[in-house]
Structure 1
Amino acid sequence: MSTAVLTEPSTVSEAPARRTERKDGWSRRGPLLPALVFAILVTQLPFLVTLWYSLQSWNLVRPGSRQFVGLSNYGAVFTDRVFRQAAFNTILITGSCVLVALVLGTGLAILLDRKFPGRGIVRTLLITPFLVMPVAGALLWGTSMFDPSFGIVNYVLSWVGIAPVDWVSSYPIFSIVTALVWQWTPFMMLLILAGLQSQNTSVLEAAAVDGASPVKTFVFVTLPHLRRYLELSVLLGAIYVVNTFDHIYMMTQGGPGTASANLPFYIYQRAFLGFDVGQAAAMGVVVVIGTIIVSTVALRLIFTSFTKEGTE
């Protein structure tokens, strides 16, 4: 009895505190509910409809062909040779663009981290490609730069006696990657430059006093500091570049044949050129699930490195 008498007042006193805490929590979350509902309506409902379409055989050029087929569309997706080629092209384009843009962006960030006359103008000019619309950038590279007859690239190569090359037709993936690198290098540069400018200058001065060369200072001091910025650059760059559609549509149309088609463009071909809604929806679901898995693993690795650095 005495134990019950002692615990009842504490229980009664905790109840209003919990209600107050719950009320405060809802007051903070309440303004975000409209945005949450809007996000669910815009993203999750279309995905559920796509899931439903992926379970059906439905070709728009054959009226009355719509029927439920279960998971057979997914089986067709994984046995589709062109889908596997498009997946390989997606990995090749994304990986090449991100790595090259990261290296170039790091070099430009190191350059802009130093003071020199006209640095502001140079920084503005280097950022400009990232501000160009993707369609305009693709047209620029497909016509002004890589045109076999009037392109600037062939004109420059003619100075050293190299014959004109039809870059887009002969080297479609190289042409696409080049245009993407030109557009995404400024993005990498800005992230790495933010990391360089956040570095404590006293550490660099201490390394110089200890006799470390500039190369050793960069490798053993600056590069570990930039690790989280490099990881974030790779993750964000890959998320954006893997969805590339404009450059492929404007420059190569996925050709020759399907040699330069990536997953987004191949899904577009199946849905809007082949009118196969069921298989296109199944491909979209597979790509979304794969992207979520890769992004989740990458985010966990980044958050783990942040946590370790925070505890050290």
Structure 2
Amino acid sequence: MTAATATAARAQRAEGWRRRGPLLPALIFTIVVTQVPFLVTIWYSLRSRNLLRPDSDLFVGFDNYVRIAQDSTFRQAALNSVVITLGCVLLAMALGIVLALLLDRPFKGRSVARTMLITPFLLMPVASAVLWSMAMLNPTYGLLNWTIELLGLTAVDWASTYPIVAILMALVWQWTPFMMLLVLAGLQAQPRDVLEAAAMDGAGWWRTFGSITLPQLRRYIELGVLLGIIYVVNTFDQIYLMTAGGPGTESANLPFYIYQRAFLGFDIGQAAAMGVVVVIATIIVASLALRLIFRSFEVKE
């Protein structure tokens, strides 16, 4: 390596550090508030620690992970997490696409309609859960049961009879506006000249939507599904307030079951092990989804 090349390399490294330098405090802060607690959680997961028996704290290795693999309730909570997450994200995305297509057309009062449709996403999850539990799904005076009785059918105690369905209704109602906004942004980013050319060539609405609009929306749909999965898999408020994980543990998902083990069963070691498993599984799924999204962006470019 010549002196000129070495000097150029040092200058390039110095320029790189000059650009990254202002970001170092944020990076250090992120590591402190995320990675350090995760390492502490891993340490707790390797110990038998119960808050009711402080003197029983001892190192047990991977025994907590073995107990998790043998825990049928954990497997049921994991299945519930998958059902609730995929059900919410897919239904919310389907409804979001329909609403976005309707709002993309000009009509009187469109701005008012957009504002009203966005409102559910602006509510706190706790407020949304209370609204659906008390005003919509209450077995005695809920609006949904009132409508059912008008049709001559028997009222249903949704939280007890169909707890996962009740949770899904509240989650889909809250997440549909988010999906709608993403899809609407994709619709408004479409090149109008391509749509006009398709119309001049005699392509109908369905043909235009399937051949032009839907491929254009692919990256927006993938991004909405990924973000929805990351956030919905951590759902706690709706389950805690609407069903309390019941009847029994029928509607408990992983975050709620971890809460039960940690703050009701006081088993810190096993709860920490569950948290580590959930974090690793979430990272794997998110990494695969991000790779698919980045690949679609590269193909588009």
Q: Settle same-fold status: TM greater than 0.5.
A: yes
Are 1:26 and 2:24 an aligned pair?
Answer: no
Name the residue aligned to 1:5: none
Give the Å deviation of 1:261.
Answer: 0.3
Choose from 286, 298, 301 the match for 2:277.
286
Are 1:134 and 2:135 an aligned pair?
Answer: no
Q: Which has the larger radius of gyration?
A: 1
Q: Distance in 2 between matches of 1:12 and 1:282?
A: 54
Q: Which runs of 5+ in 1 are unaligned?
A: 1-9
Choose from 16, 23, 32 the match for 1:41.
32
User: Where does 1:81-96 land on structure 2 (aligned, <5 Å)?
Assistant: 81-96=72-87
User: Where does 1:215-226 land on structure 2 (aligned, <5 Å)?
Assistant: 215-226=206-217
Larger deviation, residues 228-237 vs 175-184:
228-237
Task: Give TM-score scaled by structure 1 length.
Answer: 0.95
Choose from 289, 296, 300 the match for 1:298.
289
Q: Distance in 2 between matches of 1:53 and 1:248?
A: 26
Give the Å deviation of 1:305.
Answer: 1.3
Choose from 25, 48, 52 the match for 1:57.
48
What is the letter of the counterpart of residue 69 of structure 1?
A: V
CA displacement 1:143-174 (0-9 Å, x = unmatched): 01001111111111111111221111111000
Choose from 143, 156, 159 the match for 2:147.
156
Name the residue aligned to 1:211: 202
Following superposition, which runs of at least 4 residues in structure 1 exceed 3 angstroms of deviation? none
Task: Give TM-score scaled by structure 2 length.
Answer: 0.99
Give the Å deviation of 1:63.
Answer: 2.7
Choose from 175, 185, 208 the match for 1:194.
185
Where 2:55 maps in the other structure, the secondary structure is: coil
Q: Which runs of 5+ in 2 are unaligned?
A: none
Where 1:58 maps in the other structure, the secondary structure is: strand
Where 1:286 maps in the other structure, the secondary structure is: helix
Are 1:17 and 2:1 an aligned pair?
Answer: no
Where 2:132 maps in the other structure, the secondary structure is: helix
What is the letter of the counterpart of residue 115 of structure 1?
A: P
Name the residue aligned to 1:6: none
Name the residue aligned to 2:99: 108
Q: Distance in 1 between matches of 2:215 and 2:10?
A: 47
Where 1:222 maps in the other structure, the secondary structure is: helix
Where 1:162 maps in the other structure, the secondary structure is: coil
Q: Distance in 2 between matches of 1:305 and 1:22?
A: 32
Name the residue aligned to 2:239: 248
Name the residue aligned to 2:299: 308
The count of aligned residue pairs is 301
CA displacement 1:245-288 (0-9 Å, x = unmatched): 01001111100000000000000000000000000000000111
Where 1:218 maps in the other structure, the secondary structure is: helix
What is the letter of the counterpart of residue 142 of structure 2?
A: G
